[in-house]
Structure 1
Amino acid sequence: MSGAEKDSREAEQEDLEGNEDLEQSDASSEEPSDSDKDSFDSAENGADEEEEPAQTFLQHMEELRRRFVRIFIACGIGFLACYSFAKPLFALLMAPLVATLPPESTLIFTSLPEGFVTYLKVSFVAGFFIVSPYIFAQIWGFIAPGLYEHERKWMIPLAFLSACFFVGGALFGYYVVFPFGCEFFMGFADEFIRPMPTLREYLSFSLKLLFAFGVIFEMPLFIFFLARLGVVTHTWLRTKRKYAILVCFICSAILTPPDVITQSLMAGPLVILYEIGIWISYFFGKRGGRIEEKAKAKAAAEAENGDDDPDDSGPDAGGVAGETAGEEKADAVKKEKPDNKKNKSDYDEDMIEM
C-alpha cells in the first residue's frame, strides 16, 4: 500500500469521525435537558390540577345534602325572625277575607291548638319568602357545576330574579286574585246561609294560592334557562302554543279551587307569561345550537339523501349478488373436475409404464 493511499484513507476516517461527532452533538441539542423535563412535567401537573375532576354520584348527593342543610338553616332563621310578628302577619293575610265577610261573621277555630299552629305556619311561610333569594341562590349553585363557564355568569342574576318573580307572583295572588276569589265565594251567603270559615281552611286556601302564583311566575326564567341551553326555541314555542294554553288551564284547575273565576285568574297570567317566554327565547336564545332546529335539519337532510341516492345494498341487491357468487363458484367447481380426472388418467398411465 502506497503512502498516498494510506493518507487518503486516514483523511476519510477522520471525516467519518467528524460527522459522527456532529450527529451526536445535534442529538444532544435536540434532546431536552433534565431541567427542561422537570419544568415540562411540572407544567403538565399544573394543568392537571387546574382541571376540575368529574364528581361521582355520591359526591353529587353529598353536595345536594349540604345545600338542603343550608336552606333549612336559613328557613329556621327566617322563622325565628318572623314569629314575633305572627299576629300582625296573619291579620294582613286575613284582610281580603275580612273585607268581604258579613258584619256578623268572623273566623273561628275548631280545635285547641289550631290558633297556635296557624301562627307557626304563618311565621314559617313569611320567613321562607324573606330568605327566598338565598334559597334560589343555593338551587342555582347546585346546578352551576354542570354548566359551561360562559353560562355560569347568569347564575347570580337568575337567583335574584327568581326570588323577585316568586315574591311578585305571590303579591299578584294576594292583591288581585284574593279579593276576587273571596268576593265570589262570599256571594253565596244570604240570610239563610251564614259563612263561618275556620282558620285552618282559610290558611290552607291562601297559602296554596300564594305558592301557586309564586311558582307560575317563574315560567319566563325557566324558558330563558332552557333557551340558553338550546333545548327550546321561539319557533318551537310558537308551534306548541295551542297545547300550552290547554296545559295552562289544566294546571290552573288543579292548583286553584274548583271555580271558573280563580281558574281564569290563574290561567290568564300563565298564558301571558308563556307569550313573554316566547319573546325571551327569541332575544336570548342560543344561536346556532338549537337542538330542535338541528334535529329537524338533520332529519330533512337524511330524507333528501334517501330519496336521491337509493341504497344498493338492500335485500334484492344482496340476493342478486348471492346468486351471482353461487353461479361463479359452481362454474369453478365444474372446471376443476375434468382437470382432476385428467390428472388421475396420467397417473395410471405412468404406473403402467413402470
Structure 2
Amino acid sequence: MSNLQHIGSEPVEETLISHLVELRNRIIRAGASVVFVFIGLVYWAPNIFRLLAHPLMQNLPPDGKLIVTDVTGSFFVPMKVTMMVALVIALPVVLYQIWAFIAPGLYRHERKLVVPLVGSSYALFLCGMAFAYFVVFPTIFRVMAHYNAPLGVEMTTDIDKYVGLVLTMFLAFGVTFEVPIIVVILARMGIVTVKKLRQIRPYVFVGAFAISAVMTPPDVFSQLILAFPLVILYEVGIIAARIGSHKG
C-alpha cells in the first residue's frame, strides 16, 4: 500500500502542482493585461496626469500651482498615475482570471451568484471613483482654497503628495460604493439577517462618520461628503438584501 494520499485517482502532490501551475499562469495573464494596457497608455502619461490634476487646477488661485520637489518626480508620478489607470481598465481581465481559477471549486448556484456580484462590484467601484472626481475633488479643493485665502498663504502642492491624496480618495470612495454588495453578500451567506441589518443601523451611521473622519481631509464638509453616501448606500444594500431574500 502506497503512503501517498490520493484525491480521486490523482496523487495529492500532482493535484497541488497542477493548481500552482494554473495559479501562476492566471497571475501572469492578469499581470500581462495590466502591462499591455499600460504600454498602450504610456505615451499619453502627461495628459493623463493633467486630467487627474484638473479638479485642483480649476480651483487654485491665480498664484497657485503644482510643484515638483523630487528630481525624478516629473517622470515617475505620471507613470504611477498611468499604471493606476491601466489597472482600473484591465481590472475586468484580472477579475476574470481570479474567477476562472476559483470557479471549478464552486457550486453551480455559487457560480451564478459570483458573476453578477463581480460585475456590479466593478461598476460600483467606477461610480465611486467618478463621484470622487466630479463631485468630491472640486468641492474639497474649493474649500481648501477658501481656507488659505485669509491666511495670505500661497497654495502650492507637490505632485507626488497630490497623487497620494487623490489615490487615497479614489480608494475610499470606490470601497464606499461597494457597501451594497457587501451587505448583500453578508445577507446571502446567512451571516446577518435583514432584520439585524436594520437593528445595527445606528452603529453603522456612527461608523460611517468615523470612517469619513479618517479617510478625508480634516474639515467637516469633506467628512460629510463621504459619510452621507455611506449611509445611503447602506440603506440601498438593505433594500437589495430584502429583495434577494424574497427571491431566494
Shorter-chain TM-score tier = 0.7 to 0.9
- List aligned pairs for 1:125-140, cutoff 5 A: 125-140=84-99
Q: Identify which of 137, 149, 161 aligns with 2:108.
A: 149
Distance 1:61 1:285 in 2: 37
Q: Residues 190 and 257 from structure 1, CA distance in 2 versus in 1: closer, same or farther, beyond 3 angstroms?
A: closer
| Matched letter for residue 256 of structure 1 | T
Q: Residues 90 and 173 from structure 1, CA distance in 2 versus in 1: closer, same or farther, beyond 3 angstroms?
A: same
2:171 alignment counterpart: 211
Q: Residues 61 and 239 from structure 1, CA distance in 2 versus in 1: closer, same or farther, beyond 3 angstroms?
A: farther
Distance 1:145 1:264 in 2: 43
| Matched letter for residue 253 of structure 1 | A
The structure whose RCO (Cα within 8 Å, separation 6+) is larger is 2
Q: Residues 250 and 65 from structure 1, CA distance in 2 versus in 1: closer, same or farther, beyond 3 angstroms?
A: farther
2:130 alignment counterpart: 171
| Matched letter for residue 91 of structure 1 | R
Larger strand percent = 2
Distance 2:21 2:220 in 1: 45
1:186 alignment counterpart: 145
Q: Residues 181 and 59 from structure 1, CA distance in 2 versus in 1: closer, same or farther, beyond 3 angstroms?
A: farther
SS at match of 1:124: helix
2:51 alignment counterpart: 92
| Matched letter for residue 268 of structure 1 | F
Distance 2:125 2:26 in 1: 20
Distance 1:56 1:246 in 2: 48
Q: Identify which of 222, 234, 238 aligns with 1:262.
A: 222
Question: Contact conserved, 2:124 with 2:178, CA < 8 A, in 1?
Answer: yes
Distance 2:104 2:130 in 1: 33
Q: Residues 263 and 199 from structure 1, CA distance in 2 versus in 1: closer, same or farther, beyond 3 angstroms?
A: same
Question: Contact conserved, 2:184 with 2:238, CA < 8 A, in 1?
Answer: no
Could you tell me the TM-score, scaled by structure 1's length? 0.61
Deviation, 1:138, is 3.3
Could you tell me the TM-score, scaled by structure 2's length? 0.85
Question: Contact conserved, 1:90 with 1:119, CA < 8 A, in 2?
Answer: yes
Q: Residues 218 and 265 from structure 1, CA distance in 2 versus in 1: closer, same or farther, beyond 3 angstroms?
A: same
> Structure 1: any 5+ residue segments left out of the alignment?
1-47, 289-354
Alignment RMSD, CA only?
A: 2.7
2:156 aligned with 1:196: yes
- List aligned pairs for 1:26-105, cutoff 5 A: 65-105=24-64
Structure exhibiting the larger radius of gyration computed from Cα positions: 1
Q: Identify which of 192, 213, 221 aligns with 1:253.
A: 213
1:162 alignment counterpart: 121
1:335 alignment counterpart: none
> Structure 2: any 5+ residue segments left out of the alignment?
1-6
